[in-house]
Structure formats: structure tokens, C-alpha cells
Structure 1
């Protein structure tokens, strides 16, 4: 089933430097072995800030970049977040934090991010942050420059030094990391 999923979507999936697809989405994004660029982003629902380098000091961190609000709430983003929330306890045994990045234009980002969350509460160690005006997305080379797009869906597993240990960047709305993908990558650290 995993092979079929990759055959159906052109995805760049890198674990320990091995590419599983020929097509490269967001070629300027951090590569396996690179130290991920730092960010300091506001937490959804309040004005607390989350700095990536501070989170890495506590252990491995998973960074999941969602599509944000490209004119609608992405159902695949909702499904991915729900699946990660369902496995948060297991992922949290190896990762100190799972950071969900919700990018978009600053003017309505707070409202759209809160609408995306709806009544759900994310379990520890998951936190959702806002990326106003997609500065993090730009810095990480994940901007999807097409009509009604924001960012390539992406997942990065970082070690305690902030180095990329696993990377998955999709060039479609699908082809996203699963909780099992993340757990496997964390077990290799």
C-alpha cells in the first residue's frame, strides 16, 4: 500500500539521504543532514511564541507544514492533523514536540487558524503555530507559487541539534507523512 501511495503521487521522500521519488518538490528546502533554519512563530490561540531551536534543546522535534488557508480549509490537512493527534502519545515517546505550521497572509491568519482548529484540542506534545505572511515557508523553501496555493505539505524530523533526520515534501495536496513514517524516523535517531 505504501508503494502504491508513492506511485500515485509524485513525492520527494528522504530518510537518511535516500530519495524514493524522482520528482523534487521545493528543492531549496532543508536536506537530510542540514541544520533546519530557526523560526520563532506565534502559537495558535494565544500570543505565546515558539522558537524552534529552544524546542530542539528538549529532544527531537517533528515539524509538519500544512497548507494553511488557500481559500478554504484543506480536508487533507485536517485528516493528517487528526491522525497525528491519534498517535501523539506514541510519537511523544520519541519526540519532545510536534510543531504544526499553519501558513498564510497575516491579515486573516489568526481567524483562519482558529477556524481550522475548531473545537478540537491538540494533545501533548502537539502545538500549532501561525506563519504570518509565510516567512517560515519562504525561508525553508516550501512556498508553492501557484494560484490558490500557499505551501507544499511537508514533514521534517529533527534531532536534538536541529539537524534534519527525515524529510518528506509533497508536490501535491496528498502524499503526506503518516504517523508511522514519523515513528520509524524517530526510532532511527
Structure 2
């Protein structure tokens, strides 16, 4: 009896020890954006602080590869790529996060970019093959054929979020014009 109770207690403690951690909170406007490092589909590591040290970061979280190439993501990325020079003028680097299951994610990301290559020098696609970033930012869309909630964050040189939009549906995305207007608004607000 004592041995059985001990075993039950030990299993209970073990199960508590392996309980899933609470889901991370999505950074709010005014909060510091959590640091992360992800790699390009070719394996080149890039970190958030590497880009905030240069200026504003436009962080766009795509649906990535939920089992197919998302047409809304393709349209959004095309919009940001064709406006790449305007982001240079605004002093912004654009980071596109492409999450998905790890199997062949790099290859899927390369296929996704096939129509957009070469990317402008200030637009960078990184992959999130194990959802580490997606979970860190509290953006995991944990449903069949989903990966992450499509989201956009604007992050200043100090690493603080000054704009965010998190979509709970496929088509509700920020456009390059939306983001450029927000960058201009922020620039005017800080010049006073």
C-alpha cells in the first residue's frame, strides 16, 4: 500500500514537472519585443537585435506552410517586396517570419519566394520550423491546417513595439501602405 501510494505521488510530481508551460503573451504596444534569432531558408541566422540596432523593424508573421502556400501571404509579401524602396526611405528593415512543420520547411519557403526573388536588401525571410518564435510571441494558431496568426509588429531601435496587428482570420492583413503610413505617423510624432 505504501509503495503504491508513493508511486502515485511520484507520478503526480513527475506529471506536474512536465506540465506544459503557459502560453507566452503577445507583445503589446509599449512593451519590449522579445529577442529571437531565426535562420533564412539557406541557413543564415538573423536576430531581431541585429535589425533594431539599424532602425525600425517591420516584423510580419505569415501563416507560412500550413500544408500549402497561402495565397493571402503571397499577396501580402508581394506588396511589401514591391514597396521595398519605400521601406528603405522610411529607415525600416522588413522581417518576414515563415512558420510551419519542420519537414522540408526551408524548401517550402524557397518555393514561396520563387516569384519574389531576389528580395530587396532590406526584406528578409526567416523560417520558424519548430514554432519556437511563434510560441514565444503567443501567435500559435493551433488548429488543423494552421500555423500562426497573421500579424504585424513595428519595433523601434530600443526594441519597443509601437504598432501591432494580430489577425484571427486569413485575409485581414496589414498592407505596405498601412505600415508606411504608421511609420510616417510615428516619425512625425517623435519629431515634436
TM-score, normalised to structure 2, is 0.81
8 Å CA contact retained: 2:36, 2:48: yes
The alignment status of 1:127 with 2:124, answered yes or no, reads: yes
Instruction: Give the number of the structure whose alpha-carbon radius of gyration is greater.
Output: 2
Aligned pair partner of 1:137 in 115, 134, 139: 134
Distance 1:98 1:173 in 2: 20
Higher relative contact order (CA 8 A, sep 6+): 1
Say if 2:62 and 2:150, in contact at 8 Å, map to a contact too: yes
Q: Higher helix fraction: Structure 1 or Structure 2?
A: 2
Distance 1:80 1:96 in 2: 17
1:66 to 55, 59, 62: 62
Name the counterpart of 1:12: none
For residues 121 and 52 of structure 1, the distance between their equivalents in structure 2, rounded to whole angstroms, comes to 22
Does structure 2 retain, via aligned residues, the 8 Å contact 1:62–1:95?
Answer: no
Quote the Cα distance in structure 2 between the aligned partners of 1:166 and 1:92.
Answer: 18
Match 1:97 to one of 93, 99, 106: 93
TM-score w.r.t. length of structure 1:
0.82
What's the offset of the Cα at 1:136? 0.2
Structure 2 unmatched runs, 5+ = 1-22, 188-192
Partner of 2:160: 163
1:185, distance to aligned residue in structure 2 (A): 1.6
Give the equivalent residue in structure 1 for 2:39: 42
Structure 1: 5+ residue runs without aligned partners? 1-25
What per-residue deviation string (whole Å, max 9, x for no partner) do you get for residues 52-86 of structure 1?
Answer: 01210111110000001111100010000001111
Preserved CA contact (<8 Å) 1:154 1:169: yes
Alignment: residue pair count: 163
Specify which of 70, 78, 89 is matched with residue 82 of structure 1. Answer: 78
Q: What is the distance in 2 between the residues matched to 1:164 and 1:185? A: 12
Q: Does the 8 Å CA contact 1:89/1:124 hold for their aligned counterparts?
A: no
| C-alpha displacement of 1:27 | 9.3
Q: Distance in 1 between matches of 2:81 and 2:127?
A: 18
Q: Is the 8 A contact 2:56 2:157 kept in 1?
A: yes
- Deviation of 1:161 after TM superposition, in Å, equals 0.7
Q: Secondary structure at 2:31's aligned position in 1?
A: coil
Could you say what the CA RMSD is over the residues aligned between the two structures, in angstroms? 1.5
Structure with a larger share of its residues in strand: 1
Contact 2:24 2:135 in 1 (8 A): no
Q: Could you tell me whether the CA contact under 8 Å between 2:29 and 2:163 is conserved in 1?
A: yes
